[in-house]
Amino acid sequence: MQRIAAIDLGTNTCNLLIADIVDNKLHTIKTERRIVKLLETKTTNGSISNNAIKRCVNAFIDYKKIIDSSNTHNVIALATSGLRNAPNQSLIIQEIYNKTEIKPQIINGKTEANLIFKGVSHLIESKSEINLLLDIGGGSNEFIAFNYKNMLFSFSFDVGIARVLNMFKFSDPLSENDINTLEKLFKNTFLPLIEKSKDIKYSTLIGSSGTFETLASVFNEFSGNKHNNNFKTNIPINDFNIISKNILSKTIGERKLIQGMDLMRVEMIPIAVVLVQFVLKTFNIKQITYSKYSLKEGVIIDKYINK
């Protein structure tokens, strides 16, 4: 048995997974999440602010204590879009290392997509159908087209939800003009994916990470299946349409009252919903599945499990 800790330093959250590898299988022991909001405060040169650095370092200090108390000796730490685009990334990595002796590795969008795919495809197997995997982040969005365990192609676009919030001033709730602005942005940004997919009929939209976790949680409450702890959740398209309409009609205060809503996502969830709607409509996809496995599971699977 091996016990592994994986840390995923994203743009909005820093996530910890401690897992055991037993008989070539991953068994989750503990998960934790800390809010870091690396892009919350705009700086003139795009650097991460001192307050955000403090949140980030404190998250790693917390995780170091948890890792040590869990008798975990193998630690993998990855950093994605929020840090890889920051001019002061080296300073932050050094500060984390000085306080914890953990040194996050900054990965590019292609590597990020590959590791997300490793995690999701370990959990969700498709046969001959081609699926579209979407990981919505604060800094970037990763798209992966795949069938069975074969990645066909991937794209990473730096229009994560936190970046979009910094680009525009939106109404609350989103106005029709706001939605049109977002759809235009997504269409222009995702053009390479749209062109690559023009002859493909996708079977299912597979969603991983926070947005889809929240949508699955809201769906479980909505459908009366609130104790569903499955590693994957199928969300019928009609139910998604009802849930998304409800989210888009409410103010931030009203969204906090939606059963199953993650309170840290109430600000960003409307933009994420518009993104999911755009993807479903653009590629004429009729099914949604949430995968609990994503980047942090994927890096452990990639390094420690023979598939």
Among the ranges given (13-27, 125-139, 157-171, 270-284), the one the predictor scored with the smallest mean pLDDT = 125-139
- Residue of 36, 48, 28, 39 whose CA lies nearest to 9: 36
% of the chain surpassing 90 pLDDT: 86
Mean pLDDT of 50-75: 96
Query: CA-to-CA distance for 75 and 64, rounded, in angstroms?
Result: 10
| Residue 45: band (very low, low, confident or very high) from pLDDT cuts 50, 70, 90 | confident
Residue type, 25: K
What torsion do the CA atoms of 38, 41, 43, 48 make, to the nearest 10 degrees? Answer: -20
| Residue 210: band (very low, low, confident or very high) from pLDDT cuts 50, 70, 90 | confident
| Residue 229: band (very low, low, confident or very high) from pLDDT cuts 50, 70, 90 | low
| Residue 226: band (very low, low, confident or very high) from pLDDT cuts 50, 70, 90 | low
pLDDT of residue 223: 87
Q: By the 8 A CB rule, do 14 and 77 touch?
A: no
- 20, pLDDT greater than 90: yes
If one compares 46 and 274, the residue with the highest pLDDT of the two is: 274
Query: CA-to-CA distance for 175 and 172, rounded, in angstroms?
Result: 7
In Å, how far are 89, 134, 288 from 284, measured between CA atoms? Answer: 39, 15, 12
Q: What is the mean pLDDT of the chain?
A: 93
Mean pLDDT of 167-179: 96
User: 144 forms bridges with which residues in the sheet?
Assistant: 133, 154
pLDDT of residue 214: 94
Domains and CATH numbers, the chain: 2-107 (3.30.420.40), 110-295 (3.30.420.150)
Residues in the chain: 307
pLDDT of residue 197: 97
